[in-house]
């Protein structure tokens, strides 16, 4: 009959401790606890019993016959009464993290809870991942707490101008840092802002056309009271009606088509409008940059830029217009209306040399002198005169200008029609 516990270990009978350990190790490699848990427990109890016997007694060589009645079966009672629960507990107390003997794994533990070898590199990697998550979370929280550039710029604008604004819902989708806003109480007044530089005080940290939008609104309302002086918003006719303002891009150029006569009332009113706007709080906070042009057709009679000096009063505007309008119209007649082409081969090579106010043909006139190459290739100097009553233009070569009481024989050779419908007769020396 086979002897227990050695038969469970695959041994023929009692043997020394080293043989018990070797047999137990071999059986562990053959037996899988997850497939036969009961067999695994029997093996473990057998190992503990054989280990205890081998440690307490000296056994004869392997293969010797055992004493009768020693232990023929697992439950036989002999000289020694085995208490397997006590042996099992003793084995557990003796077990170390390395197993019952050096190099042996935790074979008695369930498969899913066996201890794993210590891996410093894996622990270091886990700590680095945890640290990265902590730092990333901290930065994310700070980022979420910090307002977006669109919200930040809107807060600065509200602080500087004392208004309540609405940010466009499309601002977060914009690729460039240019944001659209409008007044909460007036959604039609739209403008843009760009974050720029550091916020060091009022008016800093951004650029905006808010005050230009306010200026556009005021000038548009002003023009409605002067239908005889229509307002355009550019020279190229790309947006003469100022429709870009609805998208937050109000124009910076304001061109009034002014009549050649009877402009005093309009110019006085325009000057008063500009002075009144310059006293507004929003204007004082950030003066808008704009250009004002008074034109007649394509002839620019007067131009003013807000960056060049103080805002003109109504009288100052009227005086400046009176001094410049006539000469500007005369230059336009020479260059654009064909008068210069009758005398010079190339208007691009022609130059204006002198200008002023004189009396010609017993009438006050605006006058300019031009130099260039004549139609025959000769060097030519021509004087052009525009009567201040806007009825005629005189074309006289420099060498034939009358002196003293000389009388010049002039003949009407052409008639020009201005954009407003007025006709001008052109007189030349015969």
Each domain of the chain, given as residue ranges in start order, spans 6-110, 337-429
pLDDT for position 32:
72
- Which long-range CB contacts under 8 A does 86-90 form with residues at least 24 apart? 87/45, 87/48, 87/49, 87/52, 88/44, 88/45, 88/48, 90/48, 90/52
Q: Report phi then psi at 266, rounded to 5.
A: -65, -45
Phi and psi for 66 in degrees, rounded to 5? -80, 160
Number of H helices, E strands in the chain: 10, 14
Closest CA to 266 of 245, 240, 296: 296
Q: For residue 57, what pLDDT is reported?
A: 67
Q: What is the pLDDT of residue 5?
A: 83
Alpha helices per DSSP H over 210-263: 210-223
Q: Could you tell me the end-to-end alpha-carbon distance of the chain, in angstroms, rounded to an integer?
A: 156
Beta carbons of 337 and 416 less than 8 angstroms apart: yes
**What is the strand order of the sheet 206-208 is part of?**
165-167, 178-183, 190-195, 206-208
pLDDT score at 224? 95
Cα–Cα distance measured from residue 395 to residue 378, given in angstroms and rounded to the nearest whole number: 17
Q: Tokens in use for 198?
A: 């550091």
Say whether pTM exceeds 0.85. Answer: no
Q: Which residues of the chain have pLDDT under 70?
A: 1-2, 57-120, 138-146, 235-243
Of the CA atoms within 13 Å of residue 87, those in its CB half-sphere come to 18
Could you tell me the sign of the dihedral formed by the alpha carbons of 52, 53, 59, 61, in that order? Answer: negative
Count of C-beta atoms within a 10 Å radius of residue 293: 19
């Amino acid at each position: 009959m086979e002897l227990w516990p050695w038969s469970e270990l695959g041994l023929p009978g009692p043997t020394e401790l080293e043989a018990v350990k070797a047999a137990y190790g071999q059986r562990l490699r053959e037996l899988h606890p997850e497939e036969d848990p009961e067999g695994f427990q029997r093996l473990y109890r057998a190992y503990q019993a054989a280990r205890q016997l081998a440690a307490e007694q000296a056994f004869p060589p392997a293969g010797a016959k055992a004493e009768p009645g020693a232990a023929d079966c697992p439950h036989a009672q002999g000289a020694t009464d085995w208490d397997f629960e006590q042996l099992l507990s003793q084995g557990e107390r003796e077990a170390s993290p390395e197993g019952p003997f050096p190099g042996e794994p935790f074979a008695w533990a369930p498969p899913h809870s066996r201890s794993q070898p210590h891996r410093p590199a894996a622990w270091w990697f886990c700590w680095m991942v945890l640290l990265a998550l902590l730092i990333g979370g901290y930065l994310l929280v700070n980022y979420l707490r910090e307002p977006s550039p669109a919200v930040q710029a809107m807060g600065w604008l509200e602080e500087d101008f004392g208004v309540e604004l609405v940010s466009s819902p499309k601002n977060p989708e914009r690729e460039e840092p240019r944001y659209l806003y409008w007044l909460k109480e007036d959604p039609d007044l739209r403008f843009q802002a760009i974050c720029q530089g550091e916020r060091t005080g009022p008016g800093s940290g951004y650029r905006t056309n808010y005050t230009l939008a306010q200026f556009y609104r005021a000038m548009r309302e002003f023009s409605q009271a002067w239908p005889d002086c229509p307002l355009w918003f550019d020279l190229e006719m790309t947006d003469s009606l100022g429709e870009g303002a609805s998208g937050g891009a109000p124009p910076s150029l304001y061109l009034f088509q002014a009549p050649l006569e009877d402009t005093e009332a309009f110019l006085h009113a325009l000057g008063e409008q500009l002075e009144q706007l310059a006293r507004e709080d929003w204007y004082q906070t950030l003066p808008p940059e704009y250009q004002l042009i008074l034109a007649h057709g394509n002839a620019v009679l007067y131009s003013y830029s807000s960056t060049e000096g103080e805002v003109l009063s109504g009288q100052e505007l009227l005086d400046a217009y009176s001094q410049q309008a006539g000469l500007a119209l005369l230059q336009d007649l020479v260059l654009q209306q064909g008068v210069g082409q009758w005398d010079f081969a190339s208007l691009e090579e022609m130059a204006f040399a002198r200008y002023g106010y004189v009396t010609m043909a017993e009438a006050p006139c605006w006058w300019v002198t031009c130099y260039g190459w004549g139609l025959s290739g000769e060097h030519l100097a021509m004087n052009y005169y525009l009567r201040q009553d806007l009825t005629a233009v005189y074309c006289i070569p420099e060498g034939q200008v009358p002196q003293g009481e000389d009388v010049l024989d002039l003949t009407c050779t052409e008639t020009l029609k201005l954009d407003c419908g007025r006709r001008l007769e052109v007189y030349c020396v015969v």
